[in-house]
Chains A and B, each alone.
Chain A
């Protein structure tokens, strides 16, 4: 399957869903008094039309899915760290998750474990000071009250 075909099919699915929702649940209203579904319905139809054009064009495309190397381990680590940060931010508190987050991501720097840990500690303190005391952003304190 070519890249364009895959994305065209995806948009087509979205278009069908949105138009259907707009038509059935949200209601179109009348032209004199357009309802909440009016805009999504027509937007969805237009999206569907464009997706179909893309689909037809994609039949000539030779750019296949899965071409090009993707750095899976790095990608998964980074996305995992981001998600972990968000999920534990309010339970563990800003300081702890930030430290763990930096500890995980400094792996890419390959700087030796002493520097690695030291950097994480220093960076966490600096960022904490910057946001807490200078910019006065409210940071969640969570566990241990920090």
Chain B
């Protein structure tokens, strides 16, 4: 009953003209970001965050969320037509999507990607609507030990799901935790690692770090292929609607992709990228004709595209119920909520029901908008792809500069962004992934507080983490994740 009430409130909020407008703007910008290679949703949301300060909290979260799931739609367009993933979660869509385009079947590929995304997106929002309030009930009883154990498990999952070396991912997570400790210590009030620099007193800003790691460094990497930027693309010919045979082949992959994507989306660190890879591997395994994969099998488009959209919905669960971000985008949304004076976590649903339910309801509307926006406007998106990168990247950089500055009208934040742009570039050159660093940087301070509070609670006895059943369960699961890779080969999905 509570859920029905919530949904009613949610739609009342989401249907307010101003919120509808920002929902539309969000999914529109999201599609744009998804279509454009070299600008991902994390960087885009970070650089648009300052422009939402003037909005109401509900409108700004609705818009930022729209950018995220909108990007999942847009990414497939570039993958299919140009064979360059517009966005990391659409990498596998290139394989069969572009093969279909070369056979003159770009239309059905784009069509099934859009319909699959819509079905999976809507499925995951329904699941989010039903699951989130239940989880809130459970998490309300969590004390510091449970939180600490959960965050240990979360960070372990992040490193487990990374595609490169696990040691490097753990290093990234630890560096992130340490970066999170810069600034005032919340318990003793002492400054840590600030080196007398004013900008660092409040800690290393999340927004400039994300813009540096995901925005600036991406541009720096793309400088290498500036000369070879003339994309060859297959224009969609004929209708966009998949035929009956296409639907028959895609129906089950979309269902499987939705389920897989949603559950992987909930897990910290897994997210849309792993979900799309896993869905592709799954479809190949279940297919009666695995040899067709890579040659234009429509299942290889439908499954992953459904999965990445479902994952985008699932990722909201840990943020809305626990206040723990599952991926870098959720980390910025967490930052956005806090800027607006809202503390994400189990109490969010009670304290700000209009925001909690309004955001969820807006996602139903946004998904419908995306379906309408994507198919008829395909022509506009493809024309956009003809803008040379050499003209585009100065704008990406400029928006990052303005964005980092306007968070708090401080050039220092821009410098932090610059430094992390260089750091991000080096990390990629040395084969490190940035996502564990970002997540750990956000989780780190919460983890430290929970740990120290737990120890104060137990008078210095570490047994508190294993004496309480829920916390013991989390710790055990985390330990298993560390031990497991020693016996089995990790992540088959990485080698599709």
- A contacts, CB < 8 Å to B: 3-4, 6-7, 11, 14, 18, 21, 26, 30-40, 43-44, 46-47, 50-51, 53-54, 57, 63, 68-71, 74-75, 78-79, 81-83, 85-87, 89-90, 98, 101-102, 105-106, 108-111, 119, 123, 127, 131, 135-140
Known interface pairs A43-B177, A78-B219; A32-B394 also in contact (CB < 8 Å)? no
The verdict on B245 contacting chain A, using a C-beta distance below 8 Å, is no
Are B418 and A98 interface neighbours, CB within 8 A?
A: no
When the two chains form their complex, are residues A39 and B181 in contact, meaning their CB atoms are under 8 A apart?
Answer: yes
A residues less than 8 Å from B462 (CB atoms): 31
> B interface, how many residues as a size bin?
35 or more
Residues of B close to A89: CB separation below 8 A:
401, 405, 411, 414
Min C-beta distance of B230 to chain A, whole Å:
13
Q: Which of A36, A69, A98 has its CB near the most chain B CB atoms (within 10 A)?
A: A36
Contacts of B415 in A (CB 8 A): 86
In the complex, the chain A residue whose C-beta lies closest to that of B400 is A82
Query: Is there a chain A Cβ closer than 8 Å to B469's Cβ?
Result: no
CA distance A136 to B461 in the complex (A): 53
Identify which of residues 220-272 in chain B touch chain A, using a CB-to-CB cut-off of 8 Å: 220, 223-224, 226
User: Which of B165, B430, B431, B432 has the most A CB atoms < 10 Å from its CB?
Assistant: B430
Q: Is the interface of A mostly helix, strand, loop or mixed?
A: helix
Q: Contact between B192 and A6 (Cβ–Cβ < 8 Å)? A: no
A35–B188 touching, CB < 8 Å: yes
Q: Do A86 and B414 touch (CB < 8 A)?
A: yes
CB B210 to nearest CB in A, in angstroms, measures 16
Partner of A82, one of B177, B216, B223, B431: B216
In the complex, the answer to whether B456 meets A32 with C-beta atoms within 8 Å is: yes
CB-defined contacts of A140 to chain B, threshold 8 Å: 405, 409
CA distance A81 to B394 in the complex (A): 10
- By the criterion CB–CB under 8 Å, are A135 and B51 in contact? yes
Alpha-carbon separation in the docked complex, A38 to B431 (Å): 30
**Sample of 20 A–B contacts (CB below 8 Å):** A18-B178, A31-B455, A33-B456, A34-B452, A34-B456, A40-B192, A40-B193, A69-B224, A71-B223, A78-B223, A82-B401, A83-B418, A86-B411, A89-B401, A101-B397, A109-B391, A136-B54, A137-B51, A137-B406, A139-B406
Nearest 5 A/B pairs, CB to CB: A31-B460, A105-B394, A32-B460, A36-B185, A109-B390
